[in-house]
Structure 1
Amino acid sequence: MKTFAYSRAESPEAAVAAGGRFIAGGTNLLDLMKLQIETPESLVDISRLDLAKIEEREDGGLTIGALVPNSDLAADPRVIAGYPVLSRALLAGASGQLRNKASTGGNLLQRTRCYYFYDKATACNKREPGTGCSAIGGVNRILAILGTSEHCIATHPSDMAVAMRALDATIVTLKSDGDRRRIAIGEFYRLPGDTPQIENVLEAGELITHVELPTPPKGEQLYRKVRDRASYAFALVSVAGIVSVEDGKIASAALAFGGLGPMPWRDPAVEAALIGQAPSDAAFAAAADALLKDAKGYGTNDFKIPLTRRTLIASLRELTGVSA
């Protein structure tokens, strides 16, 4: 680990004025620093800021402080009752020890677990722009089949962010000039294109302070995660689903996916294929067709395409009560 300066912020305003990298739980950043993948000159400790509360809003939604630990968020009775998809997604991620330390804001900013991103002996455009993508033509079992480019096929690793995407969360930030922003999570992440090192729309020195959830949605909620082992593994495919059925037809649907793309993936065409349809395997297959229309495998991750189809159909059966 390279030498760095360290300071502790006493307020969000002091943190953004300090001009360094923010550290809270550090469950991802410290690993990257040890491997010298990230080498910040200055760390600003925000772990003691007053941003660890979950508060109810007048509209019935929740405001979640950026420093709320993942374990506390998953166990909050209001989250369990109104947003079970979020609680289940959090409990599907990492280990209990990491959930106790990892923060809500930091979870949104996790970096990919692509093997080549972590291996400095290989080419990686995300780690070192312009060097190439070793994952294309390499070992890419866990990597993306949607939203990729010729420069990067990495996936975003968060489970929590997938549930947040299905819930239409809003990310609240404080910029270095003191202005605040509210960013819909659907507009927060960026596709890799030819700049895969730029992963989101945050400006330099911009701090996530809160995440807002709207009023709890109607319908059944589910988080289904398919992975290589039962715990402490990132998703090959995951589905965060919220579906309501009225008068025998699907009245509303929100579906987000993990393990498939460079961001928590949500495609309006998937939901459009379901709304107004009677729950059936035919309707579910049409939704899968819409999701996978542009899917592309890269060799060792080709299996993700049929796996995603089966996982989505199984999830929709559970959400709507259709028997296999």
Structure 2
Amino acid sequence: MRPFAYFAPGSLSGAVAALRDAVPGTKVLAGGTTLYDLMKLGVETPPAVIDVHRLPELATIDAGERELVFGAGARMADVAEHPAVRDGYPALAESLWRAASQQLRNMATVGGNLLQRTRCSYFRGGSEFACNKREPGSGCAARGGHDRTHALLGTSDACIATYPGDWAIALLAFDAVVDVAGPRGDRTVPLAGLHVEPGDDPAREHTLAADELILRIRVPVTPAGRGSTYLKIRDRESYAFALASAAVALTVEDGVVGDCRIALGGVATRPWRATEAERVLRGAPLTPGNARRAGEIAFAGARPGTHNGFRIELGIRTVADAVRTAGERAAR
């Protein structure tokens, strides 16, 4: 790990001021469970870090009548165990429970989790591998390489790296928004507009400016929250990233789907909303055939590589199973 300067502001305003005056390449440090890892690998080499993990303004959790509000510095474990989340939005709780070990959930923050970087082995493997995300213009070694865990949706000729998170997938299904702050003031970003596809510039992963800080995540209250699930399929039951995952939230009346939200994880370059699949289910009977059809539509645009084509069928079944589970919960 290279030497770096360390700043620990005592207030949110101090953190914003530190970002305003920061040298290029400075990173924000919250739980550190991703940043420190990448710094040890030499993938991230910030000249300075601004530590915000002790700021009380960022650690709040509030379950109001109109929205759930999570401070960006709230720990994943605390959010997952909050009664309003655990009982009213099981998809949110499950996405956090299944994201990491208990030790990591006790340290990692929900704001930092949104910005975790890909687990692509070519990105993390160092300069011996070409990676447009790490070194723009160098190429993509994953194309033509071992692409078993790489993305099927949202890829480009420049990058097929998968977005690795779980929490963002569940948030996307609930139309969450993110409040951010910076020297130019505060603004709100829809979760759907936070992450970007690689296109010709894989190094750009989200729409935040370098001097902006996530303040909080807000989730609108919806009856579909109770009828929700987050299903994650992986090579082993614990401590593994998704081969395919789905966050599904439904309302069901007399066996017919009303509200319907479907988001996909582990299969795309960013959190992926399956809007066409949602349209198929709205107003339709909740049957195994319709659940399967929703999965097929969700993966209609998949672009498999050499080794990851099996995950199309896996993803279809993941969506179908998640739809059935959400439907059962919605009908209780």
Report the TM range for the smaller structure's normalisation: over 0.9
SS in structure 1 at match of 2:322 = helix
Residue 176 of structure 2 is aligned with which of 148, 154, 169?
A: 169
Partner of 1:75: 81
Q: Does 1:286 align with 2:300?
A: no
Match of 2:321 among 282, 297, 314: 314
* Percent of aligned pairs with the same amino acid: 43
- RMSD of aligned alpha carbons: 1.3
After superposition, where does 1:1-324 map in structure 2 within 5 Å?
A: 1-18=1-18, 19=22, 20-50=26-56, 51-57=58-64, 59-120=65-126, 121-177=128-184, 179-218=185-224, 220-321=227-328
Letter aligned with residue 189 of structure 1? H
Contact 1:86 1:164 in 2 (8 A): yes
Letter of the aligned partner of 1:124 in structure 2? C
How many Å apart are 1:139 and its aligned residue?
0.9
Where structure 2 has 5 or more consecutive residues not aligned to the other structure, the ranges are none
Q: Distance in 2 between matches of 1:228 and 1:247?
A: 37
Deviation at 1:220, TM superposition (A): 1.2
Contact 2:264 2:274 in 1 (8 A): no
CA contact (8 A) 1:83 1:216 kept: no
Residue 249 of structure 1 and its aligned partner are, at CA, apart by: 1.2
**Aligned partners of 1:156 and 1:259 also within 8 Å:** yes
Aligned length in residues: 320
Q: Residue 26 of structure 1 contacts residue 102 of structure 1 at CA under 8 Å; is this kept in 2? A: yes
Work out the CA distance in 2 between the residues paired with 1:15 and 1:317.
45
More displaced stretch, 283-292 vs 125-134: 283-292
Q: Within 1, Cα distance between the matches of 2:221 and 2:292? A: 30
AA aligned to 1:255 is I
Q: TM-score normalized by structure 1? A: 0.96
- Helix, strand or coil: the match of 1:224? strand
Task: Give the match's secondary structure for 1:117.
Answer: helix
Once the two structures are superposed, residues 9-54 of structure 1 have per-residue CA deviations (whole angstroms, 9 ceiling, x without a partner) of: 1122221221231101100000111111111111111111121110
Secondary structure class of the residue paired with 1:273: helix
Task: Answer with 12-21 or 194-203: which moved more.
Answer: 12-21
Distance 1:182 1:278 in 2: 36
* SS, match of residue 90 in structure 1: helix
Moved over 2 A (4+): 216-219, 317-322
Q: Are the aligned partners of 2:155 and 2:269 in contact in 1 as well (CA < 8 Å)?
A: yes
| Cα distance in 2 between the residues matched to 1:155 and 1:217 | 31
* Structure 1 residue 65, shift from structure 2 partner: 0.5
Q: Per-residue deviation at 1:127?
A: 0.6
Letter in 2 for 1:12: L
The CA distance in 2 between the partners of 1:95 and 1:176, in whole Å, is 35
Amino acid at match of 1:204: A
Cα distance in 2 for residues equivalent to 1:105 and 1:192: 21
Q: Distance in 2 between matches of 1:161 and 1:30?
A: 21
The farther-off stretch of 14-23 and 270-279 is: 14-23
**TM-score of the superposed pair, with normalisation by structure 2:** 0.93
Task: Give the whole-Å Cα distance in 1 for the aligned partners of 2:289 and 2:85.
Answer: 33
Contact 2:227–2:328 (CA under 8 A) maintained in structure 1: no
Q: Secondary structure at the match of 1:34?
A: helix
